[in-house]
Structure 1
Amino acid sequence: MKASDTVRITHAGYLLQVPDRGVHALTEYVTDDEKLFIVTHMALIEIDPSAWCLRVDGMVRRPCEITLEQILSLPQYEVTSVHECAGSPLTPLEAKRRVGNVVWAGPRLSDVLHACGIEQEASYVWSEGLEWGEFAGIQNQPFVKDLPIEKALAPEVLLAVAMNGRPLRAERGGPVRLVVPGWYGTNSVKWLGRITLAGTRAPGPYTTRFYNDLTPTGSRPVWQIAPECVVVSPANNDSVTSDRQICIEGWAWADAGVIRVEISVDGRQSWAEAELDERRDFGWQHFRFHWTPAAGEHQLSCRCFDAHGAGQPDASARNEIHSVVVSAS
């Protein structure tokens, strides 16, 4: 399904939209549509919902094409999940902090795959978007990502048709997008058009050339969201009143869930534990720390640790420690 009366490009090329105040705009548990980032590699497209269909093929016993009407007739589920961009694949060590927390709704991917009959040899699920264009010198290569079969069959993975209680807009990947809670947004393929079950990882540029991190033990796909947190309030360069208690607060998240958040008010020389809310579904967790500033300039930082004990790097990583500077007088 390419350029036609049913699929058209509404913006050609790379696009990024973020709130003017960045993370300091993210004051609510559920992020409103207008405060959630938009990023696309090749284009934004709009699809005629009446013409859309999802092709399921590869290592399945019953390949099929599923219409939107059929998708909507399946049992629908809601999952609250942090939604975070992994950052530019051209500069993977830069922290971008494009993030929000939303409520997705739609049928489970597992219900569709089981209905098609999964072959025993299938170990990966490839997902392909319907956009096309150019990115980083690559022309018209389909945006294909992959998931291990175990994650694809997890109950939280949805064929999303709605976000925050409203039908999924074209800019959000509608009419149907894949949603993979706990994993970076690059894996939640927009404008979903094809699902293929295979015995190997997908061979395209978005799984081979891009979105792989180098580690001491080799290359690792950019899949699970690493521990990360941000100070939402006070904002960077805010002025506060000295000798009067304020509340430092923000959000923390990780695929495995966050078990501890620490705050530094002295330029990372010392750390103290913050109060932390429990996680709901795969959503982010609110933290707060009460502090009485002395007069002067202060660097405030936050860091978190997930259920496996992993923490955040000081610098040079997409999830590096977040800091703000405030002045007290």
Structure 2
Amino acid sequence: MGEQALDVRDFADVTDFLTPVDNVFVRAHLGVPDLDVDSWTLSVEGLVERPLRLRLDDVLALPARRFTAFHECFGNPFEPDVPTRAVANLRWTGFDLSALLDRAVPLPSARHVWFEGADTGTFDGEDGLSYLKDLPLETARRDVFLAYEMNGEPLTVRHGHPLRTVVPRMFGTNSVKWLTRIVLAEERPDHMFTTRFYTRVHPGEHTARPVRAVDVGSKILSPQDGDQVAGGYVELAGRAWSVGEVVSLDVSVDDGPWLPASLEPLGADPAWQPFTLSLRLPPGRHRVRARATDRDGRVQPPPGVRNSVHEITVTVGGAAAGA
């Protein structure tokens, strides 16, 4: 299976701080389900004292909060080291998972939380799958947000309407769309999307771990790869992100020295951080690379891994450029 099996759709990059919904990437491994919102319910079940079943009106009646967070796709699970750089920055509205856990009261034996979407189908030759992810209970209680709006509007069907999970600072594979079931359990589920795909072995280790915390990353949004620009100045604009704050963003042209860009500090929300740099370039074709470093000292690596330095090619001048 290749990219077609993933129902991958990417849309044009923009330099807006909030990514317009129409420009947000789409991933639907099992296709987009056809849900009847009037009959949709969310259950909280398994190792809890008080199982819950909520309708959409019940969900919308819960106290809401909003925050902005970047949202990044890990990439094709068949090619986990190939950079994808599908990332967006969005304003989410909803409520914390902890509000439901407090009502359901997990039993002492509960150690993990499973999140199941309504999307079902066949993937990599296995039939009857649903999209399922899991997190340790304490991690889920602290980090998982249940969203029903994106950028102030109800979720679109392709982005998980009517309800989805959002896990800031974790790859998008952990943010289950079309959420229908939350199950508390003693063990992790043995499932294609939990223990087979979306795992990786970190450098210096030998055991595969689930793909969760994001890597340090950056992306040049303007100009875009292959653009031709007039004049000698190129106004570079892009975004950087990580689990914590990105503390520096450097740019290199044609394998030259790394030059510091102007980088906005991280605010209270786990959003991406804009960077800019004005470059004076001679006529011709140029390779421009961006490299982020976060507060933990993690640096985007050279090519060969999924979060390698981002690179674009631009041509300065007219038809004679690059001759």
Q: Percent identity?
A: 35
* 1:17 is aligned to 2:9: yes
Q: How far does residue 150 in structure 1 lie from its aligned partner after superposition? A: 2.5
Q: How far does residue 137 in structure 1 lie from its aligned partner after superposition? A: 1.1
Q: How far does residue 122 in structure 1 lie from its aligned partner after superposition? A: 2.4
Q: How far does residue 48 in structure 1 lie from its aligned partner after superposition? A: 1.4
* 1:255 is aligned to 2:255: no
User: Alignment RMSD, CA only?
Assistant: 1.7
2:261 alignment counterpart: 274
Contact 2:163/2:177, CA 8 A, preserved across alignment = yes
**Where do residues 77-96 of structure 1 align in structure 2 (5 Å cutoff)?**
77-96=65-84
The one-letter amino acid of 1:222's match is: V
* 1:137 is aligned to 2:125: yes
2:214 to 211, 225, 236: 225
Following superposition, which runs of at least 4 residues in structure 1 exceed 3 angstroms of deviation?
A: none
- Specify whether residues 13 and 220 from structure 1 end up closer, same or farther in structure 2 by C-alpha distance, changes over 3 A only: closer
The one-letter amino acid of 1:133's match is: G
- Per-residue CA deviation, residues 74-133 of structure 1 (Å, 9 max, x unaligned), is 111112111111111111011111111111111111111111112233222110111111
**Where do residues 313-324 of structure 1 align in structure 2 (5 Å cutoff)?**
313-324=301-312
1:200 alignment counterpart: 187
Unaligned stretches of 5+ in structure 1?
1-11
Q: How far does residue 241 in structure 1 lie from its aligned partner after superposition? A: 4.0
Secondary structure of 2:100's partner?
helix
Q: How far does residue 50 in structure 1 lie from its aligned partner after superposition? A: 1.6
Unaligned stretches of 5+ in structure 2?
318-323
- Which whole-Å CA distance do the structure 2 matches of 1:237 and 1:69 have between them? 48
Number of aligned residue pairs: give it: 311
2:21 alignment counterpart: 33
2:108 to 120, 134, 154: 120
- Which whole-Å CA distance do the structure 1 matches of 2:316 and 2:104 have between them? 62
Q: How far does residue 13 in structure 1 lie from its aligned partner after superposition? A: 6.2
Contact 2:119/2:130, CA 8 A, preserved across alignment = yes
- Specify whether residues 79 and 288 from structure 1 end up closer, same or farther in structure 2 by C-alpha distance, changes over 3 A only: same
- Specify whether residues 53 and 13 from structure 1 end up closer, same or farther in structure 2 by C-alpha distance, changes over 3 A only: farther
- Which whole-Å CA distance do the structure 1 matches of 2:72 and 2:52 have between them? 31
2:225 alignment counterpart: 236
- Which whole-Å CA distance do the structure 2 matches of 1:284 and 1:128 have between them? 28
- Which whole-Å CA distance do the structure 2 matches of 1:297 and 1:157 have between them? 45
The one-letter amino acid of 2:9's match is: Q
- Which whole-Å CA distance do the structure 2 matches of 1:328 and 1:162 have between them? 42
- Which whole-Å CA distance do the structure 1 matches of 2:112 and 2:228 have between them? 51
- Which whole-Å CA distance do the structure 1 matches of 2:124 and 2:135 have between them? 24
Contact 2:261/2:276, CA 8 A, preserved across alignment = yes
**Where do residues 94-105 of structure 1 align in structure 2 (5 Å cutoff)?**
94-105=82-93
- Per-residue CA deviation, residues 129-153 of structure 1 (Å, 9 max, x unaligned), is 1111111111112211011223211
Q: How far does residue 56 in structure 1 lie from its aligned partner after superposition? A: 0.8
- Which whole-Å CA distance do the structure 1 matches of 2:31 and 2:16 have between them? 29
- Per-residue CA deviation, residues 177-209 of structure 1 (Å, 9 max, x unaligned), is 111111111110011111111232221111111
- Per-residue CA deviation, residues 5-42 of structure 1 (Å, 9 max, x unaligned), is xxxxxxx96412211x4xxx221111111111111101
